[in-house]
Structure 1
Amino acid sequence: MKVYLPAWHYRARAIVQRTWGWSPIEEMILLALDRAPGTIENVATSLAIPTQVVGSTIARLMQFGLVEVRFSPAPQLATSTIGQNFIRLGGALPERTEDREIHISLVLEKVGHSVFRNRDVETAPLYRMTDANHKVNFPAGPDETDDTMAARVNQFVAGMLRPGEWLRGVQTINSVLERKYLAIELNDVKNGLLPEGASQDLIQALQETISTGMLPEASDPQPSRSPAIDTTIADEQLIVGGDLHLECFERIVGQAEFDVFVLSTFVAPHNEKYTERHERVRIALEQACLRGVRCHLFYGTTLDAERKNAIAMQELNVRLSSVRHARGSILAQRDSVRSHVKCLAADDGQGGAVVLLGSSNWLSSPFSAVEVSVELNENLAAAAGLDLLRSIISPLSGARRSIEILQFTASELRRTRSPLSPSTDVGGRVPVRMSILQADDHERLLRTVAHEADERFVCCTNKVGATMVPGLFNPAEVAGRRLDDVRVYYSRRSGPIKRRHIAAHRERLNGVVDLIAVEDPQVHAKFLLWDKDHVVVSTMNWGSQSGSMDNPLDEIGVHLEGPGLGTSLLAKFEGQIEG
């Protein structure tokens, strides 16, 4: 008897890169030409190397611009300026690379989450299934996307790579992902005949079907949590204040050479509230377009029944598209990504990337409120930020080009990650343990910190609302019964909450928690800090929202643990609200 399991068939083209370094012979020849320019014969004689080997080696060195031909005073080979710089600065020679394209055709079944080669299994399209077939229904979770298939592709490709190769990424523009049914013959299962790649969960589920006659159930795996990352950060990467956010936007967009990504909850239209600061953001994007930079623009709100943000995004798209040389380089999405996360990301013009995560609505903010963001520019941390952005935008069918670029860029950053110094302070940077909080992680962490903080507990939220007591005030009260410095900052009230409600809680918590209203300047920042070394820069209003497991990327927090980070952020924040 055959059973039919729900599955996804994924077809795409992946780019695999082969890299290799330089041999001692190549380095010897480069150094010889640096000391004494000459001919192939001169080099062969001085190093006692066969002429044919010298000739082929010099040809490879010339391909990378390390050796050049000079015609004066006589024709001769010599180290180029590029080659001299590598020698004088002591840097590694540029790696040689070669790309090849491979075709991927894999099947992911949803019972044991096995990954098979399509050619090794039998599949059936949905339209051929009838009620007579022994089929398992698809799980109720969201559809698979290019992003959710990324880990499966890595698993699938691992056995196909040659020595020295690594997977750069998948060309998602041409990928195809469709629902199918995987046909499994139960007699083959009895005889131990299953295609390569079958998981133990699948085998066990099929064996139970054989023994009980009951079909297995399909499921979606739990979303993976990002592992902690060891990185480095400088004090100035904690961005505090509206003015500084605008300056950072202009700096980051201004230095980009290839791609700029902007995710803002809202997009400001041209109306009576449009300010000179809104215009500075548009001018920075226009100047990037003039340089040939691709601009990827997204918004996240779902509270847009009249499509005002979509219309404003189209207005911005038309404006940027009219810039000379900008045709085809504006990738502005008019559908919401359905996330409250705010993000600015770009290449840094020097082979790296920078990612800003925090409270600033880049495409709608007048930059007059107090904002807090963290800038990630160490390669491994920036790659994690790019992966996060890719996961948020992946449900948009029109964002495939953006998803592909984010994937390839993050892969390059991980492969060329910045060296981490063991010192506690080198060039103003300190070692940091970084982890990403998803929406439903926030409340768990808040309660944990309330019991474990040793010196201080400070939380800042733009709004307090219906969830303020169980979500924020109760954990703060727990901390306040143990600690002398427990503060909650806020600026606005939402929902049914009135001033009298806050006043009642302020009186109740007097001497335990300081409830501090900051109305001028408005505080739009969302963060949590405790003791001297812990900071969480978030997008979630701790006092008015609750994180949902059903939409884990609706809110994001960046937890940084490093020497003096909590003290530094608090000092900067106090300077903003007191100045």
Structure 2
Amino acid sequence: MTSVQVTFPVLKGSRRFIIERGRKWSIIEHLLLDAVSRGAASAADLAERSTLPRRVVVEAFIRLMRAGWVEIVATSKGSLFQITPSGASRVHQEQLPSATVTEPRWRAFTVEQVTGSVYRGRELEIYHKNQLPSHTDENPVVHLSASPTHLLEDMSEVFTAIEGEDELIVGVDRGSEKLAERYAVVTVREGTIEGLPARAPVLLRHTILHAALEILGRDTPDRSETAGSTIVIKETTDEPPKSTAAAYDPSDVILDGEEHWRSFERIITAATERVIIHSTFISDDRATAVLPLLFRAAERGVKVDVLWGQDDLGSSTRSSQFAAAKMQTAVDSAGRTGAITVHPFSTNSHAKVIFADSAKGWNALIGSCNWLASEYTSFETSLRLREPYLIGQLIRKLAGLAQGRPGVWNDLSVELAVLGRRVMDTPGPRGRTVPMRLVYGADHAKLVLEARDSATKRIFALSHRIGIAAESLALFPALAAVKARNIDASFFYGRTTGPLSGEAGAELVRTFAKAGLQVKPVHRPRIHAKVLGWDDDHLAISSLNWLSADPSEAMPFREIGVLVNAPKIADNFMRRFDSAMIA
């Protein structure tokens, strides 16, 4: 019987987690309590009215009775559930008070770096590099490499993996220990992976099995089903990620510089507890202009965190770092240390996003605007995101960017990971919803291909810059759609960048024009928007320069955007852009 040992890199560590223990009340239990507050009812009646199984209704009322909020009364119609005075005093609260306790607990965990999945301390066999088995003809060993996409662990996934039943991690004690770099070892025997937990993702199983079969010189099948640990390898598909039904109003699309400044003022002014700003650049002039707004927020008790992504393109100095230091000095001089923190490190991300709470819920602004460097005179495009599930996801990604080096958890990254999970669980606003999905890093290139394959009428894009990456990333895919379906394809840019000179840019414009694809330089208005759209109903708003950047798999959150599928959203955008060019 031939077996192969497969090793893969992991990050191993333990932390003292602050855990909230105890089951919280579900929305179903709250609704059932509300139902009996309007009149006593039987389990059968409530099951029929709610379309819930009768067993679920009974179990919910058992818990409510234990809390003293519901009692059973005997009537001529039989036994009915009736609310108590204690229950009546709580039913109208936004959330029912849960009987939970908070306590610290040490938990060990492991993050594998091939697909990023997380395991509890003893779920994998872990070894130091010096302890790994050696490859021999009798005992073949294959080593998997870390994926650059998963060099930074997702702390929220760590929390989820190690939480027990009725547990919620709400914090992590300060600790300077770096996660240790180790290796996991599993055995593949007759197509079965031994030593890997059953909940391991299919992609990891596929990668392990593929490596084992390859070292044995066997063909790796497109589909494989085996006994034991049951490996299922599915054929690769190009289906796009799933979208989320998210709150949307046409006014959520923010265009032009002045509208961006007003949106910036509104989101800061409406904040009640928290503001988080991520701007690619920080400039001295803009920092001076926004500080009074942030000081007023701090006076209301709002905590503000400012992060930045990179320094000026092509500059030998870190101008944003210097501006951040000056901004923090001004904060300290104003006596707002602790309330406003301008972080000194770069996230190395080109994303531009603001998060803030308000009396109505959480909001985010995401798009092209450098909130702490822009003069607010260019044509910008951002989206006001109001769906808590998506906002929480973005905050979780920002937690990863705030980590810095792999395995290093600072206070901010932990805080953002906890906050992101909390925001994701917040009820969304009422009203109209449309499909939305977040777009990260190399997903932008896949989105261009999606537009190429699905557009029936037109494809368009706006980009601040055009560079040598334009042809492979955006122009050639769009040209394929032009030739296949004779659609209209128009790309607009503000300036050339990098090795692409003005003369070379003009030649590129002429070459693609002959093939039926328009590439147009626009000097009025000055374009800083980064938008891709197709047909009438698909619009992607992002930080990515579609005609100059080449998003890398190794930096998955360097660029962040959002795709919105809403009636006429792309058509309305182009109408407003056309009007701006005429004005």
Contact 1:123 1:180 in 2 (8 A): no
2:339 to 329, 337, 340: 329
1:118 alignment counterpart: 121
Q: Which structure 2 residues correspond to residues 121-270 of structure 1 after superposition, within 5 A? A: 139=145, 141=147, 147-157=153-163, 160-161=164-165, 165=166, 167-171=168-172, 173-174=174-175, 176-179=177-180, 181=182, 227-269=242-284
Question: Aligned to 2:383, what secondary structure does the other structure show?
Answer: strand
The amino acid across from 1:362 in the alignment is W
**C-alpha separation in 2, matches of 1:255 and 1:496:** 44
| 1:150–1:137 CA distance, 2 compared to 1 (3 A) | farther
2:446 alignment counterpart: 444
| 1:146–1:16 CA distance, 2 compared to 1 (3 A) | farther
**C-alpha separation in 2, matches of 1:184 and 1:267:** 46
Q: CA deviation at 1:460?
A: 0.6
1:554 partnered with 2:569: no
Question: Aligned to 1:550, what secondary structure does the other structure show?
Answer: coil
Give CA-to-partner distance per residue, 1:198-236, whole Å, 9 cap, x none: 959789969x99xx999xxxxxxxxxx964222121111
Q: Which structure 2 residues correspond to residues 365-444 of structure 1 after superposition, within 5 A? A: 365-395=374-404, 400-418=410-428, 426=431, 429=432, 431-444=433-446
Aligned pair count? 507
1:318 to 321, 324, 329: 329
192-201 vs 4-13, which deviates more?
192-201
The amino acid across from 1:156 in the alignment is I
Contact 1:10 1:175 in 2 (8 A): no
Question: Aligned to 1:335, what secondary structure does the other structure show?
Answer: strand
1:307 partnered with 2:347: no
1:474 partnered with 2:484: no
Give CA-to-partner distance per residue, 1:43-72, whole Å, 9 cap, x none: xxxxxxxxxx99x959xxxxxxxxxxxxxx
Contact 1:116 1:198 in 2 (8 A): no
Q: CA deviation at 1:349?
A: 3.7
Q: CA deviation at 1:178?
A: 2.2
Give CA-to-partner distance per residue, 1:421-444, whole Å, 9 cap, x none: xxxxx5xx4x32112222222233
| 1:261–1:127 CA distance, 2 compared to 1 (3 A) | farther
Q: CA deviation at 1:525?
A: 0.4
Contact 1:147 1:394 in 2 (8 A): no
13-22 vs 260-269, which deviates more?
13-22
**C-alpha separation in 1, matches of 2:178 and 2:331:** 32
Q: CA deviation at 1:344?
A: 1.1
The amino acid across from 1:566 in the alignment is A
**C-alpha separation in 1, matches of 2:6 and 2:475:** 53
2:12 alignment counterpart: 9
Q: Which structure 2 residues correspond to residues 349-368 of structure 1 after superposition, within 5 A? A: 349-350=359-360, 352-368=361-377
2:546 alignment counterpart: 542
**C-alpha separation in 2, matches of 1:565 and 1:361:** 23
Contact 2:363 2:391 in 1 (8 A): yes
**C-alpha separation in 2, matches of 1:246 and 1:376:** 16
The amino acid across from 1:307 in the alignment is R
Contact 1:14 1:104 in 2 (8 A): no
Contact 2:356 2:362 in 1 (8 A): yes
Question: Aligned to 1:568, what secondary structure does the other structure show?
Answer: helix
Superposition RMSD in Å:
4.7
The amino acid across from 2:443 in the alignment is D
| 1:387–1:149 CA distance, 2 compared to 1 (3 A) | closer
The amino acid across from 2:25 in the alignment is W
Q: CA deviation at 1:451?
A: 4.1
2:460 alignment counterpart: 458
**C-alpha separation in 1, matches of 2:425 and 2:450:** 35
2:522 alignment counterpart: 518
1:530 partnered with 2:534: yes
Contact 1:301 1:340 in 2 (8 A): yes
Contact 2:6 2:208 in 1 (8 A): no
**C-alpha separation in 2, matches of 1:487 and 1:494:** 19
| 1:280–1:247 CA distance, 2 compared to 1 (3 A) | farther
Return 5+ residue gaps in structure 2 as ranges: 40-63, 70-84, 218-239
Q: CA deviation at 1:256?
A: 1.5
The amino acid across from 1:540 in the alignment is L
Q: CA deviation at 1:195?
A: 9.0
1:571 to 572, 575, 580: 575
Question: Aligned to 1:576, what secondary structure does the other structure show?
Answer: helix
**C-alpha separation in 2, matches of 1:315 and 1:468:** 37
TM-score (norm 2): 0.72
Q: CA deviation at 1:402?
A: 2.6
Q: CA deviation at 1:261?
A: 1.2
2:229 alignment counterpart: none
Question: Aligned to 1:96, what secondary structure does the other structure show?
Answer: coil
**C-alpha separation in 2, matches of 1:16 and 1:364:** 41
Question: Aligned to 1:357, what secondary structure does the other structure show?
Answer: strand
Contact 1:300 1:341 in 2 (8 A): yes
1:491 to 494, 504, 527: 494
Question: Aligned to 2:410, what secondary structure does the other structure show?
Answer: helix
| 1:261–1:28 CA distance, 2 compared to 1 (3 A) | closer
**C-alpha separation in 2, matches of 1:567 and 1:560:** 13
The amino acid across from 2:403 in the alignment is S
**C-alpha separation in 1, matches of 2:184 and 2:463:** 52
**C-alpha separation in 2, matches of 1:281 and 1:204:** 49
1:106 partnered with 2:117: no
2:56 alignment counterpart: none
Question: Aligned to 1:553, what secondary structure does the other structure show?
Answer: coil
Q: CA deviation at 1:415?
A: 2.2
Q: CA deviation at 1:447?
A: 3.5
| 1:139–1:500 CA distance, 2 compared to 1 (3 A) | closer
1:344 alignment counterpart: 354
Question: Aligned to 1:558, what secondary structure does the other structure show?
Answer: strand
Q: Which structure 2 residues correspond to residues 37-48 of structure 1 after superposition, within 5 A? A: none
Return 5+ residue gaps in structure 1 as ranges: 33-52, 59-77, 215-224, 421-425
Q: CA deviation at 1:142?
A: 5.4
| 1:496–1:432 CA distance, 2 compared to 1 (3 A) | same
Q: CA deviation at 1:523?
A: 0.5
Q: CA deviation at 1:480?
A: 3.9
Q: CA deviation at 1:121?
A: 7.2
Give CA-to-partner distance per residue, 1:259-280, whole Å, 9 cap, x none: 21111111102xxxx3xx6543
Q: CA deviation at 1:120?
A: 7.2
Q: CA deviation at 1:561?
A: 0.9
**C-alpha separation in 1, matches of 2:207 and 2:451:** 41
Give CA-to-partner distance per residue, 1:498-543, whole Å, 9 cap, x none: 4443443444415923333221321000101111110011111111
Contact 1:294 1:329 in 2 (8 A): yes
| 1:311–1:532 CA distance, 2 compared to 1 (3 A) | same
Q: CA deviation at 1:463?
A: 1.0
**C-alpha separation in 2, matches of 1:525 and 1:100:** 46
